[in-house]
Amino acid sequence: MRKSILKLATMSVAMSAMAISVPAFAQDAAAEEASGPITVSGGAALVSDYRFRGVSLSDKGFALQPYLTVKHESGFYVGAWASNLSENAGDDLEVDLYAGFSGGEELTYDIGATYYVYPGVSSFNYLELTGKLGSTVGPATVGAQLSYVPSQDNTGNTDNVYVATNASIALPDSPISIVGSIGIEDGAFTAGSEKLDWTLGLTANVAGFTLGASYVDTNRRSVFAFKDSAAGVVFSLSYGF
């Protein structure tokens, strides 16, 4: 019932020159608008299994996951992400509302908060705080994440901690990248014992879309339901703008 970590491809759209003259002030206005202080990005992914930190939240079924983010040039952003779930107490939808601040060049950072909403079952809603760092090392992009859920009524008055690292290595002269991650979680969402999860897979950028296939596994076989964290292969198709 929580947000999956997806890398959606971004696509730049080039417009051909038009065979008519445009006044200089109109060109300047268009350039100013294109480089304005607000950037809107979005996209969607279709996944064969909604896995969150190694656990299937869609009962090994397909999930559609759209998102939309609005970012200011200062680094402040807000957005929303959604996914269908396996039916749970009448709730088959997750909506994540997030906000934060990001920036950096050689070393990137992202500090934010996500409020996980389950329409119709508000007793599942909860808040999580997350900090991320990222950098490029040769052909690899690497990152680290620390997420913390403060103790709150909807988590049984227990906190939760998740620490993870991830990497993506682009293959030379190829649209293919090797991707992987490993994370450790302990607290309200691990059913009483520490949980380790890991992934290893491939992504490929094809005609503006990103195709993916990853092996997902954990040191557990069940967390919320029977075999919901058993090993499996997840396929994905995503598009972003």
Which residue in 147, 107, 115 sits closest to 131, CA to CA? 147
Q: What is the CATH number of domain 37-240?
A: 2.40.160.40
Residues 151-189: tens digit of each pLDDT: 999 999 999 999 999 999 999 999 999 999 999 999 999
pLDDT at 6 over 80: no
Distances (CA, A) of 32 to 26, 28, 29, 36, 37: 10, 6, 5, 6, 9
Mean pLDDT rounded to a whole number for the chain: 87
Which residue in 112, 175, 110 sits closest to 143, CA to CA? 110
Residues 205-233: tens digit of each pLDDT: 999 999 999 999 999 999 988 899 999 99
Do 197 and 185 touch, CB atoms closer than 8 A?
A: yes
